[in-house]
Structure 1
Amino acid sequence: MVAKPSNNISFKLVLLGDGRVGKTSLVVRYVNNVFSEKQEATIQASYLTKRLIIEGVPVTLSIWDTAGQERFHALGPIYYRDADAALLVYDITSNETFDRVTKWVKELQQMAPGDITMTIAANKSDLVRSNKIDIQEAESYATSIGARLFMTSAKSGTGIDEMFLDIAKRLMDKRRENTEGLLTAVPKRGLVIIDDEPDKEPPPRCCS
């Protein structure tokens, strides 16, 4: 008996941003709904997956969380060179981390795939009283580079599901356009989370 081919669509998403802005906390909150005040810093990169059904289509987000420390910066292209989307994270209480995002964007524009989908997370929104970056300025910048901005908090869980869902939907729309309507016949059935378990090993295509 011949096995039917899988209709699952996989997208690679890479997180970029300065150290301690909360990249790992955002991913862990999204995938496992867990938050720790003592989250350890990522060394080089870590990998988690989220499986969804969007408009009746199984979708896997392969999420690469990269280290923010400067000594690991040169490894960035290894992770984003074949990425479908980039999530750029900054800490709303730190001007320096927003500046770092703008530098990552310039690098992506020069070296990443030309159609990479970009999203900016204004993280730690639970500390809004200490906000150093004007939200309208950040939204204007996001619009200027074709990205979308979300206020997020890994601590409270605010904005995280909406942000990752928006990324997945935008990637689906782009895939649909690129395949000339191949998915348009699929009936819309809403969003259902079907598997939150992280993969034990990353797919071989990332870092070969």
Structure 2
Amino acid sequence: MSSLQRDFNQTIDYVFKVVLIGDSAVGKSQLLARFARNEFNIDSKATIGVEFQTKTLLIDHKTVKAQVWDTAGQERYQAVSSAYYRGAVGAMLVYDITKRESFDHVARWLEELRGLADKNIVMMLVGNKSDLASLRAVPIEDAKEFAQRENLFFMETSALEATNVESAFLTILTQIYRIIGKKNLLPNDEQDSAGNSSLLTGTKITVPQQDPEFKGKSFSCCASP
């Protein structure tokens, strides 16, 4: 068990919904499996519709339950989009570093995300399959430039080799947590009868200026060689 995980019997302080989007076959389901169960299925088949998995982490002494949603990248499943994005406070836009087309389509996915999700959702660009560097079709500089221009976090990962997968999820979840932490003094009308912040649903989130050192960069501690 990861040192980041806590006993599932512990009280859950926060539940954060994060969505994975991007073309089919870029490795979204494998990233989710690696993060949630530390598994990789070499014979993984395309996702049909929507699925989600959860993982409980400890962030700043608080128990955070990540609810990560994965959807098919094929066009015929786009009808699920509106419900899929509802309540999401984080999103990972995934492309395959060996398929230029999947990177070129990120702009379209980003447009959809901004049109359907909360306007202040925390977003990360993820270049998956970094283990296939010899087949690279997307220079890391192109991805960094795009991430910086669009105000996204950025990291390259390998679900196969478990490279940066947990780091990527932890980065986006920590940023969401920081935003929620800065909103602890909400007016009473923005809390429910139990005193819970409506920010947890992703409907009221207002992102402060996010840490500039993480924007559009591949995290020097975690970047692919």
- TM beyond 0.5: yes
Residue number in structure 1 paired with 2:76: 71
8 Å contact 2:93–2:106 — kept in the other structure?
A: yes
Cα displacement string for residues 25-66 of structure 1 (whole angstroms, at most 9, x for unaligned residues): 001011111111111211111110010111111100000011
**Alignment root-mean-square deviation, CA:** 1.7
How far did 1:178 drift?
2.2
Which of 160, 166, 179 is matched with 1:161 structurally?
Answer: 166
Structure 1 residue ranges (4+ consecutive) displaced by more than 3 angstroms after TM superposition: none
1:21 is aligned to 2:49: no
How far did 1:68 drift?
0.9
TM-score (norm: length of structure 1) = 0.81
Which of 52, 56, 73 is matched with 1:51 structurally?
Answer: 56
When structure 1 is superposed on structure 2, of 137-146 and 160-169 the one drifting more is 137-146
Q: Map 1:1-208; keep pairs closer than 5 Å.
A: 8-180=13-185
List alignment gaps of at least 5 residues for structure 2: 1-10, 187-200, 202-225
Please give the secondary structure, in 2, of the residue aligned with 1:178: coil
Could you tell me how far apart the structure 2 residues matched to 1:114 and 1:180 are? Answer: 21
8 Å contact 2:127–2:156 — kept in the other structure?
A: yes
Could you tell me how far apart the structure 1 residues matched to 2:185 and 2:142 are? Answer: 36
Could you tell me how far apart the structure 1 residues matched to 2:182 and 2:101 are? Answer: 37
Residue number in structure 1 paired with 2:218: none
How far did 1:13 drift?
0.3
Equivalent residues, number: 178
Cα displacement string for residues 88-128 of structure 1 (whole angstroms, at most 9, x for unaligned residues): 11000111111221111112222210110001110000001
| One-letter amino acid matched to 1:178 | K
Could you tell me how far apart the structure 2 residues matched to 1:139 and 1:180 are? Answer: 35
How far did 1:143 drift?
1.6
Please give the secondary structure, in 2, of the residue aligned with 1:73: helix
How far did 1:179 drift?
2.2
Which structure shows the bigger proportion of residues in strand conformation?
A: 1
Determine which structure has greater relative contact order: mean sequence separation of CA pairs < 8 Å that are 6+ residues apart, divided by chain length.
Answer: 1
How far did 1:74 drift?
2.6
Please give the secondary structure, in 2, of the residue aligned with 1:157: coil
When structure 1 is superposed on structure 2, of 16-25 and 145-154 the one drifting more is 145-154
